[in-house]
Structure 1
Amino acid sequence: MQSNKLRMAIRATAAAAVLGMASQAGAVSFSAGDYDVNVYGYARLNASYDVDSDQSLSTRSGSYDGLAGNDDAPEGHFGADAVQSRLGFKTTSPEGLNVTVEGDFRPGNLRLRHAFGEYKGVLMGQTWSNFTSFVGNTATLDFDSLPGLAGLQGRVAQARYTTGALSFSLEEPNNGIVNNSDTKDSMPAITARLEDSAGGMSYSAAVLAHQVGYDDGSDDESAFGFATFVAAKMALTDMITIQGTLSYTDGANSYLYRSGDNFGADSAYVDSSGDVETISGYGGSIGAGFNLGNGRSINIGYGLVEVDWDDAEDDGVAVADQSESNQAVMANYKWTPLKNVMMGVEYQFLKRENVDGTDGDANRILFAAQYNF
């Protein structure tokens, strides 16, 4: 029982870090008949100043799109929004059935984040991909965070079964072919994940397999791709943690976090004979957190992803402007001046290099204020 409590605490802590300290701890709870109901969420302001080219997305996250070859771009850009603000509902029936529905306003309209039911380890609906872990993530103010984090770091429709530390799922697939618009999904993505803890360490490992293919009416070709990751977090002292992730993909770069213009890169290409050829990639992140006490903390992290376009280039596929390498360094200071309020400031350095050698970088400063309920 103690081990289960520790495992749940670590998972909750990791999830809170990656989501900007969002939590149901301060949720509004009440009973409606025999149902227990929680209403939770937060209001959040994000602001950014781009010292170099304007790389901001909604939530003021940094983008790799257009970063390479940006030397002549206008400099000095400020922006702010509140679209990360979130609202969620969770109900528990007398039989123990949990139902969650949650949304936010990114990029400016109400967006469905989670909508799923869960009963005795069986989950169906939309929520975080089972090929995701927050265990090794460094807490950042940037909503999209570092490249190279573990797995998809996104939410998909799925059917999942969890027993103890193991979970298995069939999920909506992500299929991308660099030089073909006739992509076809013929089967779900299949995943398996182990996530547990021992002493001061929490860890996670997962594998994914999916089919990547196309059908243009005359040719119907496909190949199998796979992806895997490991992630870990170690508490060195009561004040210091270190964490990291490692990922490898072959034919599943859509699951290699932030490997493309902003998120996943294409997973395959079509050669001159019409065959689907897979593209491999790898990535990772490393970081440290320092708890200064009194609701104050410092977090630093580095992330890197690399995609191997050599075979596609040798086969004459036009990939010169594809991202070969994305990197980021992020460092922040966060503080909690009172309960359920978080404020922070973060420095970012982003760098991208394309297949043709064109590169570019950007310096950014972020500010955030979040009010949980």
Structure 2
Amino acid sequence: MQSNKLRMAIRATAAAAIFGVAGQAGAVSFDAGGWNTSVYGYARLNAVYDIDEDVGSTTQSGNFSMINTGAAENNEATGYFDADAVQSRIGVKTTSPEGVTFNIEGDFRNGTLRLRHGYGSYNGVLAGQTWSNYNSFVGNTATLDFDSLPGTAGYQGRTAQLRYTTGALSISAEDPQSSLYGDAAVQAAKKDGMPTFTIRLEDKAGGMSYSAAALAHQVGYDTGTNDESAFGFGAFVAAKMQITDMIDIHGALNYSDGANSYLWRSGDNYFGSDAYIGANGDVETIAGYAGSIGTGINLGGGRSINIGYGMTTMDWDDAEDDGLAVGGETETNSAIMANYKWTPVKNVMMGVEYQYLKTEQVNGDDGDANRLMFAAQYNF
């Protein structure tokens, strides 16, 4: 009897569903010994029909590196269907009577359970793995594609860090993400000599939410005889404006110089090279630019339409001038996504999305892909 009552109580406390890949799903919560605990997650199906080229990766997200370019576009695989449920996730979040918060969360994107979040926080001090402080969801378009649009704000991933937050301001020292262009020998010599340092301001005023952040990190190499490095920098701004009760517009702008590892969906698919080794052995940084813009339209009755465009581009001119053969490297990735999402009942979301992806190389070769995606998500 008590077991049935407990199950009924837990079900009665189920929170509302969250739409979009960034947010925490609705949770089932309970108190025990002064500890407030939530168990949350969702089960999700992603299915995709690649109209003119097979470019789906895990979670059926569109993968820019799988788009054929140049003459290879004539060898496209057409009419390709695939589906998986590996985006499904589960997490536990608990707060002690003293106000210490713990969060452990995982999903199955790699085919096995992988850690998404694992951290503790108290009085504004957070230690562990969670979203990078050089990140914001304020200007993001709600897409069904798990990897979303190029050019969204900052590093759209999670990393180990030590962070302090006071009010709208937060600073962090994080596990560095860096990438040095070159062959296997260069990759073997690449080193990270210091943490990545970030600072972010995120707040809202009236109908506008906004975020701005900056980072500095080191990218370098050590062969045993040569030890060289350079500093890379990045910055972004993001905002969302509520135009009416139904419509909002949102977007982000990014700049990096030696920090393309934090420029979302640059390079082959996720992160571009930060720097290369010049003829004199110095580390030369590579600049990058990115942006995204979108709108969300609330149709009422649990229905919405979301439309977004995003792009990233990297400046390889200096590398070319220095004699590097970078003609086949990715210069620009861009995407348009439009979806219709429907909540037929609380904690259930279904949606369809059209995606157009395009990639361009330094030598001028390009390629594109059209896709249709369906998703069904059941939150708890």
Please, what TM-score do these two structures have when normalized by structure 2? 0.92
1:164 alignment counterpart: 167
How many residue pairs end up in the alignment?
A: 358
Q: Secondary structure at the match of 1:54?
A: coil
Residue 24 of structure 2 corresponds to residue 23 of structure 1: yes
Secondary structure of 1:116's aligned partner: strand
Please give the per-residue CA displacement for 1:336-366, whole angstroms capped at 9, x wherever unaligned. 0000000000000000000111100000010
Aligned partner of 2:342: which letter?
Answer: W
> Match for 2:332 among 313, 317, 325?
325
User: What is the CA RMSD across the aligned residues, in angstroms?
Assistant: 1.3
> Any idea what SS the aligned residue of 1:152 has?
coil
Partner of 2:5: none
Q: Residues of 2 paired with 1:151 and 1:226: CA distance?
A: 12
Within 5 Å, give how 1:1-373 maps onto structure 2: 16-19=18-21, 22-24=23-25, 26-67=26-67, 68-69=69-70, 70-71=72-73, 72-179=75-182, 180-181=186-187, 182-373=189-380
Q: In structure 1, what residue type is equivalent to 2:317? A: D
The separation in 2 between residues aligned to 1:157 and 1:42, in whole angstroms, is 24
How many angstroms does 1:97 deviate by? 0.2
> For 1:91, what is the secondary structure of its paired residue?
strand
Q: Secondary structure at the match of 1:108?
A: coil
What SS does the aligned partner of 2:76 have?
coil
CA distance in 2, matches of 1:16, 1:319: 42
CA distance in 1: counterparts of 2:250 and 2:20, whole angstroms: 13
Q: Deviations over 1:20-79 (max 9, x none)?
A: 6x534x311112323111100000000001111111010000010032234122211100
The residue that corresponds to 1:8 in the other structure is none
Q: Is the 8 A contact 2:19 2:349 kept in 1?
A: no
Q: Do 2:54 and 2:66's aligned partners in 1 also have CA atoms closer than 8 Å?
A: no
Distance 1:106 1:336, change over 3 A: same
Q: CA deviation at 1:257?
A: 0.5
Alpha carbons 1:290, 1:297 under 8 Å: kept: yes
Q: Name the CA shift for 1:216/1:47 in 2 (closer, same or farther; >3 Å).
A: same
Which portions of structure 1, spanning 4 or more consecutive aligned residues, are displaced by more than 2 angstroms? 15-18, 31-34
SS in 2 for 1:336: strand
Higher-Rg structure is 2
1:158-186 per-residue CA deviation (whole Å, 9 max, x = no partner) reads: 00000000000000011111112111001
Stretches of structure 1 lacking an aligned partner (at least 5 in a row) = 1-12
TM-score (norm: length of structure 1) = 0.94
1:176 and 1:268 in contact (8 A); partners too: yes
Task: Tell me the equivalent position of 1:6.
Answer: none
Give 1:18 shift.
4.0
Assess, with a 3 A threshold, how the Cα gap between structure 1 residues 60 and 125 changes in structure 2: closer, same or farther. same
Aligned AA for 2:173? L
What CA distance in whole angstroms lies between the structure 2 residues aligned with 1:17 and 1:250? 34
Q: Give secondary structure in 1 for the equivalent of 2:320.
A: helix
- C-alpha deviation, 1:216, in angstroms: 1.2
1:316-353: CA deviation from partner (whole Å, max 9, x where unpaired) = 11211111010000000000000000000000000000
Instruction: Read off the aligned partner of 1:49 and give its amino acid letter.
Output: Y
Q: List runs of 5+ in structure 2 lacking aligned partners.
A: 1-15
